[in-house]
Structure 1
Amino acid sequence: MKKIMSIMTLAAALFLTACSQQEKAPKASSSASSHSSETVASTSEKSEQGVSIDGSYRGQDEENTILLVVTGRKGTFTVQDADGEEETKEVSIDPVNQSMRIGDEPYRYRIEGDQLSLEDLEQAEDDQGIIVLTKQ
């Protein structure tokens, strides 16, 4: 009789241990799947928003010095000529299409390392129309 009671006690203990382990397992896998869903969401968010180009970029265009400052989807584009006169235009950025408007002019941008290339979309075919700026 003592052997049967010992075996039943042991079986009950094993059963309770197994049940408590199963309760913990779904919570852990649920947490893991929730975390992987967040990772997928943030990854797809990045691809929808494109690559961030936040920062300051400087370059030369003929005799002009160009400064582009970008924060989020907005910025300023300042051109300073050899005489020191400045003209500043507002910039709006579309990271999904990698395009921006500088004033009223549309540009397509491309990032390669610390260089930002701006291609004027309204430029004549025979004119290159590409401005290359370096991140500061």
Structure 2
Amino acid sequence: MTERTQRTVLNSQTREFVIRLRNYFDREAQNGGPILPITSVVERVADALNIGQRTVRRITKKKYGETGTEENKLHTPKKRKRAKPVVGIDSFDADAIRRHVYGYYTASERNQTSTSKVPVGKGSRLIIFCVKMETIMKT
């Protein structure tokens, strides 16, 4: 048995497959030999993992290719972040946001002695929000 230098963490689905394999080999041990003939590899794998034979063939084809001599890496799709839908803003909200942003510009012009032109606190979050809203409003 080959010894690994680094341990691998198995996710819950992989752990479930390990349990299925163990149960299959326990059944073979109680049977006193293989349940299915050793020559029917796809059927044995499908029975051991409790999945369909077609699934075993499809995964094998992806891994080893059409010829069976390739060594491809199996990829699974990753979760994609969905873009949030753009919500329409009525003219009253757009004007209120615009007035609030313009208020910060006039306040920063009056207070030239401070090193930061963006006030700190709740208002700075609103400015960040308003800057993002410019892409939605385009006014």
Note whether the superposition's TM-score is higher than 0.5: no
RCO higher in structure (CA 8 A, sep ≥6): 1
Q: Report which of the two has the higher share of helix.
A: 2
Normalising to structure 2: TM-score of the pair? 0.20
TM-score of the pair, normalised by structure 1: 0.20
